[in-house]
Amino acid sequence: MPKAGQLAGDKDWWRGAVIYQIYPRSFQDSDGDGIGDLKGITQRLDHVAELGADAIWISPFFTSPMKDFGYDVSDYRDVDGMFGTLADFDALVARAHALGLRVMIDLVLSHSSDQHPWFAESRSDRTNAKAVWYVWADAKPDGTPPNNWLSIFGGSAWTWDGRRMQYYLHNFLASQPDLNFHEPAVQDALLDVARFWLHRGVDGFRLDTINFYFADKRLRDNPPLPEAERNDTIAPRVNPYNWQNHIHSKNQPENLEFLRKLRAVMEPYGAAAVGEVGDAQRGLQIMGEYTSGDDLMQMCYAFEFLAKDRLTAAKVVETFRALETAAPDGWACWAFSNHDVVRHASRWSLSDDAIKAYVTLLVCLRGSVCLYQGEELGLTEVEIAYEDLQDPYGIEFWPEFKGRDGCRTPMVWQMDNATGGFTTGKPWLPVSAEHVARLGDAGQALAGYYRRAIALRHRHPALSQGTQAAMEAEGEVIRFRRKAGDDEIFVAINLGARSAETAAPEGAWSSAADDLGAALPDAGGRIALGPWQVCVLKRKM
């Protein structure tokens, strides 16, 4: 049963929700050690509530050796000391719920840290109680790894272990061994982890690398991927990981039954999950498989809108048409930035006006929405010197790929000190002076626009939960309609730096977004859109 204090209400709260991602190392430091923590998050929750978010997603804060900054868990049921205590977490949940914010936490189930007691026991010999809890395999006769699978972080996905005289699988760092989901006891242990946090009051989970849980039981080689089909959506272009078609190392059909078990655990709590689908070729298809029906995950996100190339009107239309084919009953969670990609203000070289156009698009699309901390201020990617790098991914592929530190630098809160109010000590990553400057008029104006755009979504059921139809691109202008009951919305957005024109919809309409500087149709039924201008109309009933 849900723990007392968990937000009551519609179990479909997630549908159309606005979720604010918090990277705990970089949100707010409460004790001066230069690293953000749970108490710091609690201190700043008012900001998230005032922005209008429905929920927060907190990246990992569990006990960890921090080889991958929390995505290598050594104790799934405790808080790492650098972030605080379980009592601090309980206080955070209580404060969030008091503000009307639901709490989602990042569960990293596909792999653990090599310092987790489960792995320590598993690697000790081949006959212990947890001997099959991880993916172990014998070497080929010549001593090489059992197959050709590659790690996203570079090199082979297999590391030799002299204790067992076998290789173990790791799709990421060698210090992140993959759990063996073919073993029922592993599934049961991880479902118990979910129950532990649900009982503490969490409202849901972000599921890291949701499509990596199972590996092919026969450990067959991945086939090569034709050069024309390679892209750097998941891994940087310099990584040969992109040269394989990963049909055996992930995306296995057995995953669906585990996801049904997880959904059954969440259901009594009214909890929801959003899964990260890491696949460059079949992301939308997998999203559809994992979110279709009432017994799987509620939401997933693929990487179409996190890609390097600027999101154009044509690309949005192409994505939704593909989604309609691959996932007609699925539910997406859209984002432009997160802790793993270059911030979209920099990635797409956006002005503040362009950022406004894109967030308007985001809140008007069918699906749920995820915002990454600081994007409401227009924070850009920070250039990190090699000697300041923390991310092992960037260190491995420098300088062609500089890793993820540039999007993970500390959040800024006040202009009167060099760390932007993040810490009284030395921050774990440098604080950008440009970021501190964004706390001035320009950044505050953009944050105000975000609040109004989110409020627009909340005012109209058509935008948060309605159907979506008639999506088309006219040059840089994207047009579509949303509808829920009597609430019908027409959206036209100029995603370009030149003025454009489009036709108004037939019928009687009025402005739904005066406070966004939205354009209106003229007497001749045309809508003139300035660079990056939006038009949002509601049908008169």
Catalytic residue set: 208, 276
Q: How far is the C-alpha of 454 from the C-alpha of 360, rounded, in Å? A: 8
Work out the angle between the directed axes of helices 184-199 and 255-266 (0-180°, nearest 10). 30
Give the integer Cα–Cα distance in Å for 188 and 195: 11
Smallest CA-to-CA distance from 116 within 194, 38, 63 is with 63
- Residue 184 to residue 75: CA distance in whole angstroms: 20
Q: d(Cα 184, Cα 425) in Å, to the nearest integer?
A: 46
H or E element, residue 96: helix 86-98
Strand order in the sheet with 136-137: 136-137, 166-169, 158-161
- Over its C-alpha atoms, the chain yields an Rg (Å, rounded) of 23
What CA–CA distance (Å, rounded) separates 196 from 401? Answer: 38
Is the link from the previous residue into 65 a cis peptide, with omega within 30 of 0?
no
Grouping H, G, I as helix, E, B as strand and the rest as coil, residue 115 is coil
5: tokens are 């204090």
Counting Cα atoms < 13 Å in the Cβ hemisphere of 301 gives 25
- Give the integer Cα–Cα distance in Å for 537 and 502: 13
Instruction: Count Cα neighbours of 262 within 13 Å in the Cβ-side half-sphere.
Output: 30
Place of tokens 């060099």: 418
Q: What are the tokens at 114?
A: 């090599």
Distance between CA atoms of residues 186 and 207, nearest Å: 16
CA–CA dist 350, 53 (Å, integer): 23
Taking phi over 0 as left and psi of -120 to 50 as alpha, with beta for the rest, 27 belongs to alpha
